Structure 1
Amino acid sequence: MSATDLPDDDRALAGEYVLGLLAPDEARAFAARLADDPALAAEVARWQEDFAPLAGEAAPVMPPARVWRATSARLFGARRRGWLTWGLPLAAAALAIALMLAPDLFSRGPTAPVDPAFRAEIAAEDGSLALAAAYDADTGALYLERRGGSPAPGRAHELWLISGDALPVSLGVLPTDRTALSLTLDPELRRDLEGATLAVSDEPLGGSPTGLPTGAVLAAGTLTPA
């Protein structure tokens, strides 16, 4: 079957998958189909190519070296100890408290909070990727603005929250059709944001299949009081 022969429902699902609009369980099920359905994978790639252009350029702000070291230690150090062998129940629990992406943001775009409680500059060491984050405590919304960089062909950027000693929690795959988006944080995630790390990893289309980072950490930053 070619991409042009796909049912309309699958084409729509491919678009929602690329934009990060599917619920975690739906995204996992869709990702599993991609390995055995080349036509569906091609449709996902087409959506990503359509959404790839990013507008706007800004000089990235580098995070302190200690943030980068701590993030790398948390993500890769834990993985070396075998976190990927802890099983799907743990992955499901992490994804269960992920964010819900408001669908109407893609039609009119979000607005940055006027008086955010926390801010973060999420930047790569070499400046190849940079995002700004601002958290609105009144609404529980995390505003993100991509200031530079985009995923490699056939890959995706996934955002993670690392708070205290907890495992990284996926905040979803970052869409590529907008420079700005807003995510509503689950109440469980709002309690320990000060000093938490936001990190972006390189993942397969649709995000990590395990619920934990599997690719390189591309950028990181710490949430600090605004």
Structure 2
Amino acid sequence: MSEPEDAYDDDTRAAEYVLRLLEDDMERAFEARLANDRDLQSLVQSWEYYLADLAVDIEEVEPPKAVRSRVLASVADRAGHRSWSPIWSWLAGGLVAAGVMVAVVLGGLFDGSDDLTPSFRAELISEDRSVILTAGVIPATHEIVVERVAGAPPAEQIHELWLIADGADAPVSLGLLQNEGTTRIRVPDEIAPGVRTGTIAISIEPPGGSPTGAPTGPVVAAAQFSDL
């Protein structure tokens, strides 16, 4: 008999990763794959866009049964009519599901009203200019969009992005950067206000990122955001 995990495909894993539902070891394994798997990166970015409104604080409300049914049908359709899994059970109940349903009642998810234009920009350039990245902040979605202009981490290693907020005792990891192209990172609401005035930095880390919660490798570059 196959294990329950066999029913999970990459699309479902990507959704659970965005929602931070994976166990620590599963998340580390997923991030190790994410560093070099462009298809997986695309799935994560797609789910980040699709589920971004879940971060909005909405008071818990018991939705009408008809609305609940429509939302679950919509979510199932987004997943490509795949088999039911724990992620949909999680979405179906509790505060987050209520928040989604209220958002649908008020006009639907992603109605195009958010301004997705970056408002702040920073350049991360190593001392020898072998690594150059640009980063922009989209305040409406609390996203940092990092574009790799030149350079990459050493073989079998990865770049990790950190925030050192004003007055903070230690840096906070914002996520892992793709080795080429664009990386989109959604900053948790509780630390998002510190991005504008803080310092961002990139370090060289093992696959899956720092195992300690703090930079373990060399810091390649650091910068602060300025207004566009």
Which secondary structure state, in structure 1, belongs to the residue aligned with residue 153 of structure 2? coil
Which residue is equivalent to 1:171?
A: 174
Comparing both chains, which one has the higher relative contact order based on Cα–Cα distances under 8 Å and sequence gaps of 6 or more?
Answer: 1
What is the deviation of 1:183?
A: 1.8
Amino acid at match of 2:194: D
What is the deviation of 1:156?
A: 1.0
What is the deviation of 1:132?
A: 0.6
Provide, for residues 49-94 of structure 1, a one-character-per-residue CA deviation record: whole Å limited to 9, x for no partner: 665xxxxxxxxxxxxxxxxxxxxxxxxxxxxxxxxxxxxxxxxxxx
TM-score by length of 2: 0.53
Indicate conservation of the 8 Å contact 1:21/1:103, yes or no: no
Residues 104-115 of structure 1 mapped to structure 2, 5 A cutoff: 104=47, 115=117
Specify every segment of 5 or more residues in structure 2 that has no aligned partner in the other structure, as ranges.
39-43, 50-114
Larger radius of gyration: 2
Residue 225 of structure 2 corresponds to residue 223 of structure 1 = yes
Provide, for residues 204-225 of structure 1, a one-character-per-residue CA deviation record: whole Å limited to 9, x for no partner: 1100001111110011111122
RMSD over aligned Cα atoms: 3.5
Residues 1-226 of structure 1 mapped to structure 2, 5 A cutoff: 23=20, 26=23, 28-30=24-26, 102-104=45-47, 115-166=117-168, 167-176=170-179, 178-226=180-228
Which residue is equivalent to 1:88?
A: none
Tell me the distance in 1 between the aligned counterparts of 2:215 and 2:21: 15
Tell me the distance in 1 between the aligned counterparts of 2:22 and 2:136: 27
What is the deviation of 1:185?
A: 1.6
Q: How many residues align?
A: 149
Which secondary structure state, in structure 1, belongs to the residue aligned with residue 25 of structure 2? helix
Which residue is equivalent to 2:54?
A: none
Which secondary structure state, in structure 1, belongs to the residue aligned with residue 221 of structure 2? strand
Amino acid at match of 1:150: A
Sequence identity percentage: 34
Indicate conservation of the 8 Å contact 1:119/1:225, yes or no: yes
Tell me the distance in 1 between the aligned counterparts of 2:35 and 2:21: 19
Which secondary structure state, in structure 1, belongs to the residue aligned with residue 133 of structure 2? strand
TM-score by length of 1: 0.54
Amino acid at match of 1:149: G
Amino acid at match of 1:102: Q
What is the deviation of 1:196?
A: 1.2
Which secondary structure state, in structure 2, belongs to the residue aligned with residue 181 of structure 1? strand
Amino acid at match of 2:176: V
Moved over 6 A (4+): 7-11
Amino acid at match of 1:173: L
Indicate conservation of the 8 Å contact 1:194/1:225, yes or no: no
Which secondary structure state, in structure 1, belongs to the residue aligned with residue 190 of structure 2? helix
Specify every segment of 5 or more residues in structure 1 that has no aligned partner in the other structure, as ranges.
1-6, 35-43, 52-100, 107-112
